[in-house]
């Protein structure tokens, strides 16, 4: 045991950078873009701002690039800069029950780490919250202590009242191309699911590509949603009880959960045998188990719909039509459900048949909280759910050749990813079932369309 040592979370992710998506030259570059763009979209949406995002990739040498990203979001107060850019597991989203693309507090610090480790250089930033000055500087990450350090900074006069953030990462051992895994396709997929964002992309050869917004409707800022009693575990209940400021169990149940009225709280008390006057912080494990069992025996309304922001069936159909020119599309947004821990989620799906749909067989397009999942398709529960559908029943003769694109978007206050790289969903039974129902629902419409097409074909050939 003389060798026994602890390490910091940054040391762990530096050694295991593949877990954050920094594996392979093309994916590493796209991951840097992904971390910046998801943060910008989240910050814009939270502040109710129509996103103007630009991404500029410059080639500085062989496998040596600089990625500069600018947004018009809320800006980052100077005192938070070291934590935002240099401290893993620190952020504004991880501990809140809110739909957002980020949820770990690791993303941008990971990009700072990767570029620092490959070039020895800090990350440059420029940010303002819209007040009288703009802060410009460079920041790096102290891996051993998991802390951010501002290397240098200066304050500039903010004459135009600019608000937003610009980040520039320099990285080596990365590569730009226009494959399915490149920054170009990532931004295209991002604009499909975020019709309110205008994204400008400048490629290394100087080509400017504008992904114009197709709606000026700003999605209502996501709202923190309380957990629903279904799916709560005794440990969740105890953790919530230790963090609440409600003095009694009754008030705690009504305040911290959705769908629990005072009448419902009474019902729970009588079913569980735990008094509503009990102080939440003094609940025992047995009490918690009894309350949770009472939840399971009680009828609650379904989770509310206003907290989550799906893309919407119409928007999905519009996007599928404009990118694939299919003969047939069908979309669906299912009702909210819950999985482990009372976590709300909504599944929406779409099918596109014919035109440019399919890639020599079924093509799967996956999103989580409107962020595209480009990598790790093989290890994703969405892929498994798509494969588990018996497509033959819906008129698909050969899954290896059919011109069919399957679109799935999961929105939730906590997306269960398989790894910190956030590109694949872990298997949760409730999510798997919902994806299947959504696809089978669309499948039935597809089967009617294909039957009609076949009839038409047979009539003509008679």
Judged by the rule CB under 6 A, the positions of this chain that interact with ligand ATP are 4, 35, 39-40, 43, 71, 73-74, 76, 84, 91-93, 102-109, 165
Q: Min. distance of Cβ 37 from ligand ATP in angstroms?
A: 9
Query: Which CB, 164 or 307, lies closer to ligand ATP?
Result: 164
d(CA 126, CA 162): 11
Select the binding partner of residue 26 from ligand ATP, Mg ion, a second copy, none (C-beta < 5 to 8 A, by kind): none
Q: Closest residue (Cβ) to ligand ATP?
A: 102
Select the binding partner of residue 200 from ligand ATP, Mg ion, a second copy, none (C-beta < 5 to 8 A, by kind): none
Q: Min. distance of Cβ 13 from ligand ATP in angstroms?
A: 11
Element (H, E) at 211: strand 208-211
**Site size toward Mg ion, by CB under 5 A:** 3
Place of tokens 């501990």: 95
Q: 111 exposed, middle or buried (CB, 10 Å; 0-12, 13-18, 19+)?
A: buried
DSSP 425: B
Under a CB-based contact definition with an 8 Å cutoff, are residues 105 and 80 in contact? no
Select the binding partner of residue 40 from ligand ATP, Mg ion, a second copy, none (C-beta < 5 to 8 A, by kind): ligand ATP
Contact with Mg ion (CB under 5 A): which of 75, 86, 107, 416? Answer: 107
Query: Which CB, 212 or 235, lies closer to a second copy?
Result: 235
Q: Min. distance of Cβ 340 from ligand ATP in angstroms?
A: 19
Q: Min. distance of Cβ 82 from a second copy in angstroms?
A: 12
d(CA 436, CA 426): 15
Nearest Cα neighbor of 365 from 382, 346, 353, 379 is 382
Q: Min. distance of Cβ 372 from ligand ATP in angstroms?
A: 14
Strand-pair partners of 411: 346
Nearest Cα neighbor of 165 from 77, 57, 49 is 77
d(CA 222, CA 41): 12
Residue numbers at the binding site for a second copy (CB under 8 A): 1, 3-9, 11-12, 15-16, 18-19, 23-24, 76-77, 80, 83, 87, 89-92, 94-96, 104-105, 116-121, 173, 233-235, 238, 285, 288-289, 376, 378-380, 383-384, 414, 416-421, 424, 426-429
Select the binding partner of residue 140 from ligand ATP, a second copy, Mg ion, none (C-beta < 5 to 8 A, by kind): none
Query: Which CB, 42 or 287, lies closer to ligand ATP?
Result: 42
d(CA 402, CA 19): 34
Query: Which CB, 66 or 87, lies closer to ligand ATP?
Result: 87
Site string for Mg ion, 13-52 (x = CB under 5 A): --------------------------x-------------
Select the binding partner of residue 163 from ligand ATP, Mg ion, a second copy, none (C-beta < 5 to 8 A, by kind): none
Query: Could you say whether residue 369 binds Mg ion (CB under 5 A)?
Result: no
Select the binding partner of residue 376 from a second copy, Mg ion, ligand ATP, none (C-beta < 5 to 8 A, by kind): a second copy
Select the binding partner of residue 165 from a second copy, Mg ion, ligand ATP, none (C-beta < 5 to 8 A, by kind): ligand ATP
Nearest Cα neighbor of 50 from 163, 134, 161, 133 is 163
Nearest Cα neighbor of 435 from 358, 341, 351, 376 is 351
Q: Min. distance of Cβ 21 from Mg ion in angstroms?
A: 12
Q: Min. distance of Cβ 198 from a second copy in angstroms?
A: 25
- Where are any strands of DSSP class E within 113-176? 123-129, 133-142, 147-157, 163-172
Q: Min. distance of Cβ 183 from a second copy in angstroms?
A: 19
Select the binding partner of residue 71 from ligand ATP, a second copy, Mg ion, none (C-beta < 5 to 8 A, by kind): ligand ATP
Q: Min. distance of Cβ 107 from Mg ion in angstroms?
A: 3
d(CA 402, CA 408): 18
Q: Min. distance of Cβ 129 from a second copy in angstroms?
A: 9
For the CA atoms of the chain, what is the radius of gyration? 24
Nearest Cα neighbor of 341 from 227, 176, 427 is 227
- Give the number of C-alpha atoms closer than 13 A to the C-alpha of residue 51, restricted to the C-beta side: 31
Query: Could you say whether residue 102 binds Mg ion (CB under 5 A)?
Result: yes
What per-residue string of b and e applies to 66-98 under the rule 16 or more CB within 10 Å gives b?
A: bbbbbbbbbbbebeebbbbbbbbebbebeeebb
Q: Who's near 334: CB < 8 A, 6+ residues apart?
A: 346, 347, 348, 349, 434, 437, 438
Q: Is 407 strand, coil or helix?
A: strand
Q: Min. distance of Cβ 43 from ligand ATP in angstroms?
A: 3
Query: Could you say whether residue 110 binds Mg ion (CB under 5 A)?
Result: no
CA separation (Å) from 346 to 109, 368, 454? 29, 10, 34
| Chain residues in the site for Mg ion (CB under 5 A) | 39, 102, 107
């Amino acid at each position: 045991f003389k060798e026994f040592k602890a390490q910091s979370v940054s040391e762990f992710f530096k050694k295991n950078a593949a877990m954050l998506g920094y594996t392979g030259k093309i994916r590493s570059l796209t991951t840097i873009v992904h971390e910046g763009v998801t943060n910008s979209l989240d910050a814009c949406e939270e502040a109710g701002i129509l996103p103007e995002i630009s991404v500029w990739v410059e080639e500085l040498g062989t496998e040596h690039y600089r990625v500069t990203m600018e947004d018009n979001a809320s800006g980052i107060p100077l005192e938070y800069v070291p934590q935002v850019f240099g401290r893993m597991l620190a952020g504004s989203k991880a501990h809140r029950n809110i739909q957002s693309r980020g949820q770990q507090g690791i993303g941008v610090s990971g990009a700072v780490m990767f570029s620092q480790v490959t070039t020895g250089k800090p990350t440059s930033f420029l940010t303002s919250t819209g007040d009288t000055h703009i802060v410009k500087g460079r920041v790096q990450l102290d891996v051993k202590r998991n802390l951010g350090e501002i290397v240098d900074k200066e304050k500039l006069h903010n004459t135009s009242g600019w608000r937003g953030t610009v980040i520039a990462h320099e990285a080596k051992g990365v590569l730009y191309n226009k494959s399915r895994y490149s920054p170009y396709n990532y931004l295209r997929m991002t604009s499909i699911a975020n019709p309110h964002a205008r994204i400008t992309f400048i490629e290394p050869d100087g080509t400017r590509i504008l992904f114009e917004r197709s709606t000026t409707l700003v999605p209502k800022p996501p709202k923190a949603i309380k957990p629903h009693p279904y799916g709560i575990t005794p440990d969740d209940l105890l953790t919530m009880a230790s963090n609440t400021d409600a003095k009694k169990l009754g008030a705690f149940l009504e305040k911290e959960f959705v769908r629990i009225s005072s009448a419902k709280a009474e019902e729970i008390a009588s079913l569980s045998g735990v008094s509503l006057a009990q102080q939440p912080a003094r609940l025992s494990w047995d009490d918690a188990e009894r309350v949770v069992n009472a939840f399971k025996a009680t009828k609650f309304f379904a989770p509310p719909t206003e907290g989550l922001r799906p893309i919407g069936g119409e928007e999905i159909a519009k996007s599928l039509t404009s990118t694939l020119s299919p003969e047939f599309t069908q979309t669906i947004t299912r009702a909210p459900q819950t999985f482990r821990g009372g976590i709300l989620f909504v599944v929406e799906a779409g099918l596109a048949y014919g035109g440019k749909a399919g890639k020599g067989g079924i093509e799967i397009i996956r999103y989580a909280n409107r962020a595209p999942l480009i990598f790790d398709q093989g290890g994703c529960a969405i892929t498994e759910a798509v494969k588990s559908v018996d497509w033959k029943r819906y008129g698909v003769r050969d899954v290896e050749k059919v011109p069919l694109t399957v679109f799935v978007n999961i929105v939730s206050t906590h997306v269960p990813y398989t790894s910190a790289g956030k590109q694949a969903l872990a298997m949760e039974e409730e999510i798997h079932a919902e994806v299947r129902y959504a696809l089978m629902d669309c499948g039935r419409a597809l089967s009617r369309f294909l039957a009609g097409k076949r009839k038409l074909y047979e009539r003509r050939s008679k």
